[in-house]
Amino acid sequence: MLKPFFIALVLMLFISPSSLYSDSGNGRSHGDRNKLLKGCASCHKGHGVYKTPMLSERKEIFCFRCHGHNIYSENAKKAGDIAKDVGTANIQSEFEKPYHHPIEKIGIHRYGEILPEADPSMPRHSACGDCHHHHYAGEKNKMSGVRGTSKDGAKIRITYEYELCFSCHSYSANLPAYQTNKAEMFNSSNPSFHPVIAPGKNTDVPSLVPPLTTSSLIKCTDCHNNDDPAGPNGPHGSNFRYLLSKNYTTTDGSEGPFQYELCYNCHRRSSILSNESFPLHDLHISTVGASCRTCHNPHGSNQYSHLIEFNRASVMSSNSGQLHYTVYGSRTGQCALNCHGKDHDPALYPGAVQTPSSSRPSRFPSRK
Ligand code: HEC
Ligand code: HEC
Ligand code: HEC
Ligand code: HEC
Ligand code: HEC
Ligand code: HEC
Ligand code: HEC
């Protein structure tokens, strides 16, 4: 089985190197002869490591020959595999950060494997080759040639970045218990969601930082990315938990620009703290010290409007056993819950409106 494959590879490498990707140099970074001076032979050697298609290293560390620490890319330059003036990004250092995609789980990735996994006992992994194709990755489309998963779970050619992420973070049978199905969280039929698949539902989001508007779309990598904006782009690694591009504190504590930096990147801090939408934002965030996460889910909510999903670590049912959020119109709603002993059974905002129910809601405490 291996024999005809090798004959074909040798033929392609040495007889008609351009037959594999005829538009080499046209948008496919690895087909650029000005950068990869030896073409196919910059990667495929006459003799290779056992069980690889004539590669000089085993697949898991192979990419670091050119995308690793300086010492490796300098060696590749000395060997004449890449041009002296090409600056390949150091991706290796991203994977040495405390939070990173687990490329160290080796020997699991198979070229052409079916993701998302249908078998819950399959070990999870992510290799360079799960997100980038060794031949087709391009400067414009770095995911070119990789198969993705649509919002409905179908195997497809990738058009939108989230379709890459959905291969492992949506319908996978082996999803870790603490994770949610992201195709469900961002589903546009939910009461609310961050606008990754479709523009958001709310037309009244006064805090948005221009040029963002309520018709903007955002990407997973707007939040999950390198924490160093000067470093290589991509969800490879970060010094912040959950692979976030900016800091975000999910537990309660004092407010500051750094605490919720991720959100303040797109939502003006001054708008949130001056209660432009929710009249009790400042009271909860600054005075009581509630994290955004105590009330909002960063992805979406299949229960409530305004990304409301209470963090059950601190939010319990009210004394009368109720736990819900109800919207009555723009900047008007009510909650029933108990948070650190403070009972809302229910509590109404902005205050002077009638509740449809006959029960008389208690008000939130005033600031003093
Ligand atoms: C940037 C490095 C690189 C360059 C340049 C490159 N390849 Fe590859 N090639 C790889 C890697 C990595 C694999 C193995 C992928 C796997 O199995 O996961 C591979 C696999 C292959 C295979 C096995 C089938 C497949 O697609 O996996 C063939 C055939 C092949 N390469 C031919 C070529 C030819 C012909 C050229 C030049 C036109 C070329 N390669 C250029 C890295 C490269
Ligand atoms: C022989 C050197 C070499 C090897 C090995 C190599 N690459 Fe590359 N790669 C390059 C060069 C050169 C570029 C173009 C960089 C540029 O123009 O800044 C590139 C570009 C890329 C890009 C697109 C980025 C862009 O802006 O053009 C991706 C993604 C990528 N490589 C991933 C990989 C992966 C994954 C592997 C391992 C399967 C790999 N590379 C192995 C040399 C290499
Ligand atoms: C080939 C599978 C695969 C793909 C594709 C993939 N991931 Fe992951 N991702 C993983 C694995 C495996 C982990 C480790 C934790 C786990 O098992 O989910 C992980 C972890 C993460 C984490 C950290 C979770 C935590 O608990 O800290 C985030 C955030 C993440 N991925 C986002 C993304 C985004 C955004 C994309 C698309 C750009 C993406 N992933 C594409 C497999 C993948
Ligand atoms: C607006 C910012 C934002 C966007 C956009 C975003 N995330 Fe997240 N993500 C977060 C934050 C913040 C957390 C931390 C956990 C929490 O607060 O619940 C997180 C946690 C995660 C986790 C680990 C915990 C969990 O809930 O599963 C995964 C996996 C993940 N995100 C994947 C994705 C994928 C895939 C996309 C795109 C389809 C995406 N995220 C889009 C902000 C975002
Ligand atoms: C979980 C998916 C995932 C994994 C695993 C992954 N990448 Fe990426 N990578 C991305 C995404 C997404 C981008 C950004 C794409 C964009 O800019 O649209 C990216 C960007 C890049 C770039 C371009 C960086 C820049 O700023 O120009 C290179 C080079 C690269 N990746 C190489 C690698 C290598 C080498 C590995 C393995 C060591 C790897 N990637 C693993 C998803 C991944
Ligand atoms: C990359 C930009 C970006 C980041 C980062 C971001 N948001 Fe948003 N957010 C948006 C956009 C765009 C909208 C408008 C969607 C709409 O019109 O419904 C929005 C809307 C919202 C809404 C209103 C949704 C509704 O249906 O009423 C809430 C609540 C929200 N974001 C909270 C957060 C929180 C909390 C964080 C930090 C974890 C955060 N956002 C981070 C871009 C972002
Ligand atoms: C006590 C619960 C609570 C906390 C804590 C909270 N919010 Fe909200 N937030 C709400 C409610 C309720 C609304 C809906 C207001 C309405 O009816 O329009 C809202 C609306 C929003 C909106 C959409 C409208 C706008 O202002 O643009 C954004 C964005 C937002 N919150 C961001 C944040 C951020 C960022 C944090 C943390 C710094 C945070 N919220 C903390 C309850 C909360």
pLDDT tens-digit map of 310-340 = 999 999 999 999 999 999 999 999 999 999 8
Spell out the residues 6+ positions from residue 117 whose beta carbon is closer than 8 angstroms to its own: 124, 172, 173, 174
Predicted confidence at residue 364, as pLDDT, reads: 45
The token pair at 355 is: 């509740």
How wide is the angle at C-alpha 89 spanned by C-alphas 10 and 36, nearest 5°? 30
The answer to whether 124 and 109 have CB atoms below 8 angstroms apart is no
CB-ligand 4 contact for 264 (6 Å cutoff): no
Residue nearest to atom 23 of ligand 7 (CA): 205
Ligand 7: which atom is nearest the Cα of residue 273? 38
The answer to whether 173 and 117 have CB atoms below 8 angstroms apart is yes
Half-sphere exposure in the Cβ direction for 138 (13 Å, CA): 13
Half-sphere exposure in the Cβ direction for 143 (13 Å, CA): 20
The token pair at 156 is: 């497809």
Q: Which ligand is nearest to the CA of 200?
A: 6
Tell me the pLDDT band of 2, cut-offs 50, 70 and 90.
very low
Predicted confidence at residue 362, as pLDDT, reads: 44
Residue 301, pLDDT above cutoff 50: yes
96: number of Cβ within 10 Å: 9
Q: How far apart are the first and last CA of the chain?
A: 78
Say how many Å lie between the CA of residue 265 and the centre of ligand 6: 10
CB-ligand 4 contact for 240 (6 Å cutoff): no
Q: Which ligand is nearest to the CA of 130?
A: 3
CB-ligand 2 contact for 194 (6 Å cutoff): no
The token pair at 319 is: 């004394």
Mean of pLDDT over the chain: 89
How far is the C-alpha of 333 from the C-alpha of 318, rounded, in Å?
16
Predicted confidence at residue 354, as pLDDT, reads: 44
How far is the C-alpha of 309 from the C-alpha of 306, rounded, in Å?
9
Predicted confidence at residue 24, as pLDDT, reads: 43
Residue nearest to atom 36 of ligand 5 (CA): 128
Say how many Å lie between the CA of residue 241 and the centre of ligand 2: 27
CB-ligand 2 contact for 43 (6 Å cutoff): yes
